[in-house]
């Protein structure tokens, strides 16, 4: 096999694979091991269901409010949406040329030099795998918090313990693992239902809360008053740490990339789905946040709500109806469960793809697809096991949810930044981005969005590892850095014990 760098063949009308030194160019995916049953609407629905931006804002509302109040939340949404649009454009352009379930780690393998192809694609792939596992943990814990908040509101005598939340979290995870194995492929309509329910609930909340609220707020207070509740951080750092709430609204942006081999014409459908996810995410998260902020005068007071769920408190105060607020919470819980199912599905497909390339221990099992169920059962079970183990972090720290969110977005952005940097290294050459690609950016715009993607990964890695409040204690510290180090250690051990000998870059069975 030649040692020179590969220049891929890009005839987008026919399937093509060229492999050299771990690099692969792919277009067209006939005879894929899983059914190609996603239409453009279905895959957009999956992408939206995973991000569910207004739900993500509602679930992580406390982080932004504590780190700057409405200013961090509202301006943060605008800033993050613009940056993640750049990231989305980067991913969409690459996906239009290389539509495979591996997504960013496949892109990395193609773009890297032969010397660095294996190690860089392995790093990108592992970062992506870990980001999806922690995203599953984030949504499972958020769903548990929603359910427990409803119980506490209607049974005020109930005294919840940490292990109660832990058990609900584990139950959420177990149910979705089983659903993914036995039912997901038979009930894809659930994603369409989740999309409709999410949009309907968003409209109901956005209209009802301001209409029912008797509060009159001064706009200058909303848009200019920075409420630093960090306990010691300067306003700038407090603002940056509080951006984990807006950033969470577009977590899982690469979801549709990893379902490319289950949809028709992925080189056209997947790029559209990525961009639509960002646009719809912003168009729901921003109006939702504005409506909530203008519905209650002292949003900082919601941080002390007995239920431990600030948005529930605000909904009840704004609507003057605990029943209405509880209905909103029930809808949010339903949408969150659908999102959790979608995340498990996408996460398992990425793990399956990574194992197919022999990057993980027991790859022969993890890369198998059940002939009767049509899903990668072992990959689903492994991801579920990791989510189960991450639950231990919650027992150790009350800020586990913050750590899961921060870890998710940090490692995800790193996985996006690696192929972005390599694309710049290749000077966006037509050898790697053929002029015939279905989704094309003006070259100058391409350079800008690639650079923004890389810079943002650095910003997130630094500031999302900071404690959100000072002084930091064992109970409230940000365990993001601990989780990141644990992931790094696991990745290094897996590399030297297995992947270094077996992983040779992306490989497809066509």
- Residue 27: strand pairing partners: 16
Residues 6+ apart with CB under 8 A from 128: 103, 104, 105, 254, 350, 411, 412, 415
What are the pLDDT digits (tens) for 380-402? 999 999 999 988 878 777 677 77
* Phi, psi angles (nearest 5°) of residue 159: -110, 95
pTM for the model stands at 0.89
Residues 24, 99: Cα–Cα separation, whole Å = 12
3-state SS string over 150-201?
HHHHHCCCCCCCHHHHHHHHHHHHHHHHHHHHHCHHHCCHHHHHHHHHHHHH
Query: Taking 70 as the threshold, does the pLDDT of residue 34 lie above it?
Result: no
What are the pLDDT digits (tens) for 401-436? 778 889 999 999 999 999 999 999 999 999 999 999
- Residue 26: strand pairing partners: 17
* Phi, psi angles (nearest 5°) of residue 19: -125, 125
What are the pLDDT digits (tens) for 323-348? 999 999 999 999 999 999 999 998 99
pLDDT value, residue 457: 98
Looking at CATH, the fold of the domain delimited by 16-502 is given as Amino acid/polyamine transporter I (1.20.1740)
The pLDDT of 123-137, averaged and rounded, is 94
Give the tokens for residue 407. Answer: 């870890």
Give, in order, the Cα–Cα distances in Å from 188 to each of 15, 42, 234, 484.
27, 8, 47, 33
What are the pLDDT digits (tens) for 443-453? 999 999 999 99
Query: Taking 90 as the threshold, does the pLDDT of residue 11 lie above it?
Result: no
């Amino acid at each position: 096999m030649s040692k020179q760098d590969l220049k891929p063949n890009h005839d987008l009308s026919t399937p093509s694979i060229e492999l050299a030194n771990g690099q692969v160019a792919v277009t067209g995916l006939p005879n894929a091991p899983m059914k190609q049953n996603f239409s453009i609407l279905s895959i957009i629905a999956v992408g939206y269901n995973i991000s569910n931006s207004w739900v993500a804002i509602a679930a992580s509302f406390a982080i932004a409010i504590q780190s700057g109040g409405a200013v961090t939340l509202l301006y943060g949404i605008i800033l993050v949406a613009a940056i993640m649009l750049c990231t989305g454009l980067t991913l969409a352009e690459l996906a239009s040329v290389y539509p495979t379930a591996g997504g960013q780690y496949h892109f990395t393998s193609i773009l890297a030099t032969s010397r660095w192809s294996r190690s860089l694609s392995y790093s990108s792939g592992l970062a992506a795998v870990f980001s999806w596992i922690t995203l599953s943990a984030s949504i499972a814990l958020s769903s548990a918090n929603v359910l427990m908040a409803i119980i506490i509101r209607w049974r005020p005598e109930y005294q919840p313990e940490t292990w109660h939340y832990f058990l609900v979290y584990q139950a959420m995870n177990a149910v979705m693992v089983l659903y993914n194995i036995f039912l997901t492929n038979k009930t894809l309509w659930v994603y369409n239902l989740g999309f409709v329910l999410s949009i309907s609930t968003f409209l109901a909340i956005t209209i009802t809360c301001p209409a029912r609220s008797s509060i009159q707020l001064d706009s200058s207070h909303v848009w200019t008053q920075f409420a630093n509740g960090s306990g010691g951080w300067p306003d700038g750092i407090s603002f940056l740490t509080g951006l984990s709430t807006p950033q969470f609204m577009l977590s899982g942006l690469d979801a549709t990339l990893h379902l490319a081999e289950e949809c028709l014409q992925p080189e056209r459908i997947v790029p559209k789905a990525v961009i639509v996810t960002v646009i719809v995410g912003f168009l729901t998260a921003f109006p939702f946040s504005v409506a909530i902020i203008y519905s209650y005068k002292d949003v900082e007071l919601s941080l002390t709500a007995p239920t431990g769920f600030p948005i529930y408190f605000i909904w009840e105060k704004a609507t003057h109806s605990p029943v209405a607020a509880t209905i909103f919470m029930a809808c949010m819980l339903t949408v969150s469960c659908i999102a959790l199912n979608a995340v498990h599905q996408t996460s398992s497909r990425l793990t399956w793809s990574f194992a197919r390339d022999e990057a993980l221990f027991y790859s022969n099992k993890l890369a198998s697809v059940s002939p009767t169920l049509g899903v990668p059962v072992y990959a689903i079970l492994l991801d579920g096991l990791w989510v189960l183990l991450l639950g231990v972090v919650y027992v150790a720290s009350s800020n586990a949810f913050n750590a899961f969110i921060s870890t998710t977005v940090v490692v995800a952005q790193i996985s996006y930044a690696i192929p972005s940097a390599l694309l710049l290294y290749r000077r966006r050459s037509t050898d790697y981005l053929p002029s015939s690609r279905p989704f094309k950016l003006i070259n100058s715009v391409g350079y800008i969005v690639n650079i923004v993607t890389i810079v943002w990964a650095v910003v997130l890695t630094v500031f999302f590892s900071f404690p959100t409040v000072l002084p930091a204690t064992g109970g409230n510290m940000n365990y993001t850095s601990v989780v990141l180090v644990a992931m790094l250690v696991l990745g290094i051990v897996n590399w030297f014990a297995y992947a270094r000998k077996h992983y040779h870059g992306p490989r497809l069975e066509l």
